[in-house]
Amino acid sequence: LMLIVNELDGVIGWLTYIGHQLAVEGKRSLDEVLESAIELTLGELRSFLTGRSARYKILIKQLTVKRSWRELKSLIESAEGRALNDKSLHVLLKELIDHGIVEKVNNEYVLSDPILRRAALRL
């Protein structure tokens, strides 16, 4: 149980999902359930990204670890080979935060839960 709590960083929704998958759906291992959760989240991320600027994907992939505003701006500029104005980055981050994908912690940004971080690595 502690392994699951540690793996999911105590996120209640994922703890409920894991419990349901193990008890009701008959999944046999934590790895099998985590894989199912990652695939579900990956599908949701892809749906979110459909029709949006490629900058969202760049940000999501970079936010598997905590990053400062400056780092994010530099990473997007490097990926695109052109300057990015501050307002554009603000709008991108605000939308990601408003959708619960990203959170701001001590002036740094990061994906909001561990399953999102794992799914983002597969984008």
This prediction's pTM: 0.82
Residue 53, SS3 per DSSP: coil
Phi-psi region at 74: left, alpha or beta (left = phi > 0; alpha = psi -120 to 50): alpha
Query: 1-48: per-residue pLDDT in tens?
Result: 566 666 666 555 666 777 777 777 776 677 777 888 899 899 999 999
Enumerate residues 6+ apart whose C-beta is below 8 A from 86: 73
pLDDT > 70: what percent of the chain? 85
Where in the chain are the domains? 2-120
In the predicted model, what is the mean pLDDT of residues 100-108? Answer: 96
Nearest to 120 by CA among 55, 13, 43, 51: 43
Q: Which of 4-18, 43-57, 58-72 has the lowest mean pLDDT?
A: 4-18
Architecture (CATH level 2) of domain 2-120: Orthogonal Bundle (1.10)
Q: Which helix (H) or strand (E) holds 98?
A: helix 86-98
Q: Across the chain, what does the average pLDDT equal?
A: 88
In the predicted model, what is the mean pLDDT of residues 55-70? Answer: 98
Torsion of CA 31, 112, 107, 50, to 10 degrees: 110
